[in-house]
Amino acid sequence: MAFWVGKLLPIYLYSLKIKYMIYVGIDYSLTSPSVCVYNSDRGDFVFDNCTFSVISDVKIPPNLPKNIFISPHKPWTNQDERYHNIADYLIKTNCLESADVILIEDYAFAAKGRVFGIAENTEVLQYNLWLKKKQYTKISPKSIKKWATGSGNAGKEQMVEAFHKNPKNPDMFSIFASPRKKTGKVDSPLSDIVDSYFICGWAVTNL
């Protein structure tokens, strides 16, 4: 008996030290920001084990997966209120205060004429995380694209194509049907959901 206790006790004590991790990947934007949350106690990092929160004024698809939640933008009267609404909703909805790892995709400097608004919007989120004493990491869009597709210059179409290479992932084109479906072009929030998925996946793999 003492022999088995001596063998099993270290294993039991080690199991008590196991801590499940909550990873958050954020594709932040003004029009349709998306947050992917993965708790490692659900098993492997796969689409079905993630939860997505999106802010978008798009019509809710009837076949939207149960782990994707889309809410419309709150009314706003100025840009400051707009930035606050987005950050406040995403932080509260995704319980970011309990997250262990938060990875935010940095804005692209090539954003046509919108870089200052995007930067200000992102800074509001970062400031709110700072107030809550939550650490976060930023990553460039090129790094995420490289990890997901093998090319740092990949476009939205290539990102969705990489997502669809996993047969367990849902057909996002059939969910977010649009006139662009036949051309292969990608609209929001489809691209934002896919991006947040890969951002979270990068965090799980590298952080």
Q: What is the pLDDT of residues 160-199, one digit of tens each?
A: 999 999 999 999 988 987 555 555 568 899 999 999 999 9
pLDDT of 68 strictly over 70: yes
pLDDT of 156 strictly over 70: yes
Domain range 20-206, its CATH number among 1.20.58.340, 3.50.30.10, 3.30.360.10, 3.30.420.10: 3.30.420.10
Q: How far apart are CA 71 and CA 48, in angstroms?
A: 20
* pLDDT the model gives residue 3: 44
Could you tell me what percent of the chain has a pLDDT over 70?
A: 83
Q: What is the pLDDT of residues 94-149, one digit of tens each?
A: 878 889 999 999 976 545 545 667 788 899 999 999 998 999 999 999 999 999 99
Output Rg (C-alpha) for the chain, integer angstroms. 19
Of 82, 23, 32, the C-alpha closest to 53 is: 32
DSSP 3-state assignment of 26? strand
Q: Do 27 and 105 contact (CB within 8 A), yes or no? A: yes
pLDDT of 15 strictly over 60: no
* pLDDT the model gives residue 92: 87
Q: How far apart are CA 186 and CA 64, in angstroms?
A: 17
Domain ranges, ordered by start, for the chain:
20-206
Q: How far apart are CA 73 and CA 42, in angstroms?
A: 30
Give the Å distances, CA to CA, from 140 to 72, 74, 144, 195.
27, 28, 7, 12
* pLDDT the model gives residue 93: 84
pTM score > 0.85 for this model? yes
